[in-house]
Structure 1
Amino acid sequence: MSIPKEPRQQMITMMYLVLTALLALNVSAEVLNAFKLVHEGIRNTNTALDTKNDAIMDAFAQQMASDPERAREYFERAQQAQQITREFYDYIEAVKEEVIEASGGVNDAGEIRNIGHVDAPTRVMVNQRRGFEVKDRIEEIIQDYLALVFSDEDRQILQTQIPLNTEFNPDETDQPDWVTYNFRKVPVIAAVTILTKFQSDAKQTESLLLENLISQIGASTFRFDRLSAKIIAPSSYVLAGSQYSADIFVSATSETQDPTVYIGELDMDIVERDTFGNFLETTQNPIKGSYDTLPVVAGMGKLNVPAQRVGVQQYSGAVRVQQPGGTGYLYFPFEGQYQVAEGGVVVSPTKMNVMYIGVENPLAISVVGFPSDRVRASISQGTLAGSDGDFRARVNTPGTATVNVSAEMDDGSTQTMGSQEFRVRRIPTPQAKIAGEAGGNMPAARFRAQRGIIAELESFEFDVRFEIVGFEMIYAAARQDVITERANGPQFNQRMLGFMERARPGDMFYFDNIRARGPDGNTVRLPGITFRLI
């Protein structure tokens, strides 16, 4: 006979159906929502790029008003660049609409109905080869953009800077080509985000080209449109009792003609200094060997390097500015240095930025300028043991815990150096498993060979053991009454082993009320698991 339709059995059946549905999903809601956020961010970037490019075109208009003969050729090429971007943007927008329509379209609010749909991008972009058309179009407009650059040198530089590309390395993936790699079996929201990124890359390429063209409009003298006060100090790291010094002056920059800033080793056979030790400008590129090019904002190069080594770090380079009239370039060499020091207080959890109840949480604690044997630490709850910078914290109450750090001074006194607050959590609930599986179909022979249930913590930073203290087995054989048996501990009892021995393919086993004891002594209830013998 069939399984009785009692409320408990109906609940178990529903749990099985839900579990089967969840196992079929291959994209999480969190990932899809993350793609929505990225997509919105790229759209905001596109808006910002439009504003920037419009500002550059306004500067072109001013140049046309003041000196049309000199500015006209550059202005016309800038208009061509905008036309290339506009046509490409509209083309990609049509491709996006085609993918969205194939997935079910949008709702009344204008939002994509099925953001997780993976068949539509594959069908449109791969099977119908729209992705290959997009790839060809990208490669085409890259050449169109580069053709608008006047000098070979600038063209080579722009070619290394533009974000648009269709590079594909088959050694890094099992996908056969660029289109399949980007669009096969990806959710609709991911495909739309990728296409929106292409639009953004085109706008960024347009921006780079417009900046290059506006900078080429020659003049009889250098032109600057921004004055600002600047402070240059030999060092921003000052010890107590020493003196801080700096040079304060007015700097002139241009928003319409950005310089090019290189970071690299200077060729001392080219560079020269004046009687005050300052570098003189030169018409030769003074960079020796390889170099890096800095991003430029409002006429100023932005240097950002990771502070990885403690001590004084030196760097050098040159600023390249086009000479008036567009006849060549002037290079302005420079040298600089900065000092890297350890942070004032470092409290670093060696697992993650959280402490767990019931386990030892290792911490590495140090204070700059003090040897590890003079560093002291305490905690607001639980215990903190250790020495020489290596500590182990045990906490007992969910919420927060504060680690307070102090150092022993030369006179023997103790001075507070800082503190760090940590989140305190219980160890996550483990997953019940049989034969390494958390439910689903299992060969009958393999199932009969098992002797108990284990509790496993997946993707957890600590090596933590949970002990199964009890569970229920519900055996539902075809055309037979349901049988329930309880066990204490992790092992199957003799009755359970008997059910398993006579079970046949198609029979169902439900495990419920699974309880496990953690290292903190607390007993937690684990989600039930279901197996169907095959």
Structure 2
Amino acid sequence: MAMLALQVSSSIMDKFIFLNSALEHSLTNAKKSSDQALEALKRDVKKNGNSRQGLERIKRAELLKKKTSEIIGEVTKIKQILIKDAGDGIDSKTHVVKNPKEEGKVGEIMIGESEGKGEGYKLKDKLDKYVAWLSAEFKDLDLPKFEPLAEGNKKKALYANDPIQKNKDFAEANFGHTPVVAALAVLTQKQSEILRYQAEVLKKLGAGDLTNDLKFDKVRAGVSVEAKTVAPGDEYKAELFISASASKAQPKMTLNGSPIPVNDGIGKVSFKVSDPGGYTDGRAKGSWEGTVTFKSKGRDTTFRHKEEYTIVQPVLLISSATINPLYRNCANPLVTSVPALGAAYSPSFQATNGSAIPGAKKGDVTIFPGGGAKTRLTVSSNGTLVGSKTFDVLPVPPPTVMLANRNGGAVNIERPLPAARFQVIAKADDNFKKALPKEATYRVTGIEVTTFRGGGSTGSRKVNGGAVNVRALKTRRGDGVMIKVLGVQRVNSRGSVETAPIRNRIISFRVR
């Protein structure tokens, strides 16, 4: 059995030797391919006029080769250490390490006597940094996601149910109890992965147009309309066509001499239209100039274009529930609009002698006039003044005090009333309440009640609020009752309280 185990072990050693040899051969070919790819890139760039974009790609490719060569060299140093110190060097006849089965020294070198001190941990740190550098340096090339090159067993499904293997880190998983030839194969495989990642980046750097010449690769449908605003009876006219743009050309574009952003070969023209003045029938002319510069056969070619447009004089329209005037210390809702601006209307408001609060809908605003006789609303759109309007400001019309029953219904005081409970209420002016119902809330704060009998007063009392209990006044049939309203308050929509003027302070009736 011992001899059989030794034979199997030797067979396995042979397979690792063959595997590492094959990987080394592939490694050599991969290095040659990367060198050839860089040389091909240089030839293409030179052939097409050494464009700025092409030279930049060469520079980035050379940086990639340098960084990759450095990390490949670091792995090679570790392989040389393993060959010398664990494998006792290379046999001159077999060209294989003299001691291919050695495991203990491999562990000492790669894992170390204390955790984190071996060459395996140092290598993991370098491999992780290389992958992070690739992803950051070439993130603009739309590369596939590069997986880590130095992972342990924690994320590997193969070891999920293996209590011994599943928690091993990179160094332990790849170099613990591992013979020299297997460790060398692991390291050579890592070098192959590094070169595969390099090849992916080189492929992207060498792809596409290296000349910046104009090549149309984006085709779309376009429409040119004479007028987007028409009236019944007008003839609608437009031109339908196909347009093409060059996403790889990286043209430079300007608007009135200033650079503008370009995306997929299309320049984004955007500017705020200023008020030109000098309108004729509410219209004025404006224009802008643009340039497009691109490479054609290694030389700059520039097209110039001038575009005219029509500026419509903005007219501010304002409507309100109260029309005009507005009421003092009340929420007066207004609706503003500027038809000429359409969907571009983005208003901001300012009020003199008051405050302006924007509403939930675009164009809505609520004005709270102060104590003056007039207030002025100024409206701007996107920072540009579009108009203003002055409103007269009137005080809130005084309410009418009246006697009501428990349900709030009016009581006819022209006829004798029973010895019952009544309420003095303040009723808002009908037109005011219809216009601003949220502002028409009143309360009676106090009354003075006086009773009369036989032509003389039998006493008086003051009452907080407006409640009147005629029975409690100990009146008789034919007695008179006079109620003097001492105060009325209005609660506005903001919850503020103000003293209200009173239209009629005295309410008189007789008891039946």
TM-score range, shorter chain: 0.3 to 0.5
Choose between structure 1 and 2 for higher RCO, CA contacts under 8 A separated by at least 6 residues. 1
Larger Rg: 2
* Structure-1-length-normalised TM-score: 0.36
* Structure-2-length-normalised TM-score: 0.38
